[in-house]
Chain A
Amino acid sequence: MKHKPALPYLLVLPGIAVLVAILYPFFTGAYWSFTSYRLNRGDPDLNWGRNYWSLFTTGDGLNAISVTLTYVVAVVIIELVLGVGLALLLNSNRYGNYFRLIIVLPLLLPPVIAALMWNVMLTQNGVVNYLLDSAGLPTLLWLNSPQTALMSVILIDVWIFTPFVVLLAQAGLRSVPKELAEASAVDGAGPVKHFFSITLPMMFPILIVIITFRGIDSLKMFDIIYTTTAGGPVGSTTNLHVMAYLEGIRNLNFGMAMTALIVLWALCYASAYVLLRFRRQEAMS
């Protein structure tokens, strides 16, 4: 269809306006990351890369980076496997529609509140341990021990956000053309082989979208961790975002906080860039 060359630009203009509006705050934050800015101490002094240097060389900084990455990898893999699995089950179940409504519920709870409630349920004398104990199972310290805290936080994330993956994956599955499914059934391919050779490749584009959104959001995870452990015990759940909050809002050390956040932003940027390139190549081939 023909169109005036300006039309597409006109249409994306409002979108770009939002983007431009956010540039000022973004660059201000980026600038602060190169300063020794303390909120309660007048104008910021440039200290160039000192903050970055200390982030990448001190134990605390490296720990935060490592917690951030562990969290993302664990969350994305677990939620992807569970979400796709559940989507498969939903599609093959007669009551799928009803189950889906139940499964989606945790997504509707504000993560801050969900985390707070989980925190209460998972305390040493909380209801979860009580039930485990009554069933004769060993109890855990969950959020209260450096060994299990990160795992427990991930569990809460899985509880809340697996439904997001389910919704998107289910859509992806439905789009696998029926003819292909039937063809492979005729070929005598088993369900496992069918899944890996037909379904999964067909779902590839949507999986990339899921990974992108879950990846970005879990890199930036703050609500759940801060509400439950505030980064403890002994730093075992301090990711970059929590570190930035502790540095910035509690200690007013905004220079350092912004540094952690810029690194976080760069991680988001890089992963999304790689993932989406990957998708474009796939779409072209």
Chain B
Amino acid sequence: MRDLKPNRRCLVSVGLVAALAMTGCAGGDSEGPPEDEIESFDWQNYEGEEITLLFNEHPLANALSAQLEDFEELTGIEVAIETLSETDYMTRILTELQSGSSAYDVFMTSQPMNYQYAAAGWIEELDPWIEDERYTASDWDFDDFFPAIIDSLRWDTTEWGGAGEGPLWALPANEEGYALFYREDILEDAGVDVPETIDELIDAASELDGYEFDGQTVSGFVSRGHPTYPTLNPYSTFFLAHGAQDIVDGEADVDSPENIAALEQWVDLMQHAPEGASTYTWYEAQQDFIAGNAAFYIDADHMAPDFENDTNISGNVGYALPPEGPEGRGSSMWVWSLGMNAHSEAKGPAWLFMQWATSQEVMTEAIDLGNMNPTRISVGEGPEMEAATEDWGDYNEVWQEILHEHAEWAYTPAALWPEAGDIWANAIQSAVLGEQSPEEALSDAAQRINAAME
């Protein structure tokens, strides 16, 4: 699929102005590292070049911006960075990539975006870069990344299959697993134990729903309910615990008995959430929890800093594993990673940036700058992480255990996946609102997903 032969047009002797050398090299597909551009690894190989990054507003982006000077000093490469809000970012990156523009060399991406971009040949395959020791520093330890994370970024571009196989499309820079948050103070006050299983969680949420605490009436639970695929992430803790899947052998499986059982329980639990939660996005759910309105909350573990940073609930939040179901525990994971534009005209410098940004040193330093979800095992286990999360209860153990034991990419890769995911999320909303029974909603969804897959 990939042509490793040197591109004739690029055979320009080393030493020429690199910008000139790159002209005309940008092909449609991933081409891997140019053969004769450099002789051996050196951070200064691309001194004087420029690259442009497109980021989504995120602690990862903030941390990297704060560290940029170090990179510029190390490599002599000049970096321009643009950061946009989530919706804006999606629109922009899409316009750029589909037009074959080389305006951005490196951008933030996630699994569903990888599928869309990889299928179109917009994003560079990274294995050839990683394997080429002229381009990759010998101490940049690839095996140090959490294996589950790396698997989630591999895909062989088979529509509705090939998860964890084939090329690596991006380097992981920030990870989200899904955890159960609870209010220690409320549970203690009410004499409720921390639930271990889904059944226990539903009981506990039901018991605490309407509980009066500190002059506030709290709801038992809160989570996302928006009819778009990100809602599936907290919900993944339920369907994975039931051993359910989205697609099996190219057919929608969201209406399997396991999926129906999972949704029935989720609907039960959401009855103890504020009624409006059926449309909450992550930020509305998060706000509700921070304002002290809910006892339990399932969402991304990376929200911990937002709870602990001088809010009404700081110091009173407990962190637990996702609840157990018939098939054990499970959590999806969302990985913000760095991808390279296949049309970039500065792939060499772009790759230097990517490996620098995901190096152990930079990731460790980022903890204090707000990117607290390392994708490297060594950084997770490091003293810096422990120090930063010292006052956050079990947080530091819980997120690592989720990532080691329970987290996986819970969905079947496909360029069409976001569409299927949205349909599924719509069904969940419809069931939570009581518009349809879980069974009806999911069987509708299965039909729609099959139709979309054609």
Q: Please give the residue numbers on chain A whose beta carbons come within 8 Å of chain B beta carbons, in ascending order.
A: 38-41, 119-120, 123-125, 141-146, 149, 226, 229-235, 246, 249-253
Contacts and interface: CB of A to CB of B under 8 A. Distances in A.
Chain A interface, >50% SS class: loop
Contacts of A235: 227, 426
A123 B429 contact: no
Contacts of A39: 94, 98, 120
Contact of A144 (B87, B122, B276, B430): B276
Interface in B211-270: 226-228
A80 B279 CA distance: 31
B288 interface: yes
A146 B288 CA distance: 20
Given A39-B98, A40-B120, A234 B226 contact: no
Contacts of A246: 422
B289 to A, nearest CB: 11
A141 B293 CA distance: 16
Given A250-B422, A251-B418, A232 B293 contact: no
Interface string B87-131: 100110010001000000000000000001101101000000000
Contacts, number: 88
A144 B270 CA distance: 14
27 contacts: A40-B119, A40-B120, A41-B119, A123-B276, A124-B275, A124-B276, A125-B288, A125-B291, A142-B276, A144-B275, A144-B276, A144-B278, A145-B275, A145-B433, A146-B433, A146-B435, A149-B279, A232-B429, A233-B227, A234-B227, A234-B426, A234-B430, A246-B422, A249-B90, A250-B419, A251-B418, A252-B415
A250 B227 CA distance: 13
Contacts of B278: 144-145, 233
Contacts of B435: 146, 234
A63 to B, nearest CB: 12
Top 5 closest pairs, chain A to chain B, by CB: A40-B120, A144-B276, A124-B276, A232-B227, A251-B419
B158 interface: no
Interface string B326-352: 000000000000000000000000000
Contacts of B280: 144
Contacts of B276: 123-124, 141-142, 144-145
Given A125-B274, A233-B279, A249-B94, A40 B433 contact: no
Interface string B421-432: 010001001100
Nearest to B435: A234
B50 interface: no
Contacts of B279: 143-145, 149, 229, 232-233
A231 B281 CA distance: 13
Nearest to A227: B87
B150 interface: no
B284 interface: yes
B426 A40 contact: no
Given A40-B116, A251-B419, A231 B227 contact: yes
Interface of B: 87, 90-91, 94, 98, 116-117, 119-120, 122, 226-228, 274-280, 284, 287-288, 291, 293, 415-416, 418-419, 422, 426, 429-430, 433, 435
A146 to B, nearest CB: 7
A133 B154 CA distance: 52
Nearest to A252: B116
A123 B226 contact: no
Contacts of B419: 250-251, 253
A251 B422 contact: yes
Nearest to A245: B91
Nearest to B216: A125
Given A229-B279, A231-B227, A124 B274 contact: yes
A233 B228 CA distance: 10
Contacts of B227: 230-235
Contacts of B228: 230, 250
Nearest to B90: A249
A234 B422 contact: no
A85 to B, nearest CB: 32
Given A141-B275, A145-B433, A230-B226, 7 more contacts: A41-B120, A120-B287, A232-B279, A234-B227, A250-B90, A251-B419, A253-B419
B132 to A, nearest CB: 27
Contacts of B120: 39-41
Nearest to B112: A250
Contacts of A234: 227, 426, 429-430, 433, 435
A230 B287 CA distance: 19
Contacts of B426: 232, 234-235
A231 B422 CA distance: 12
A280 B255 CA distance: 58
Contacts of A119: 284
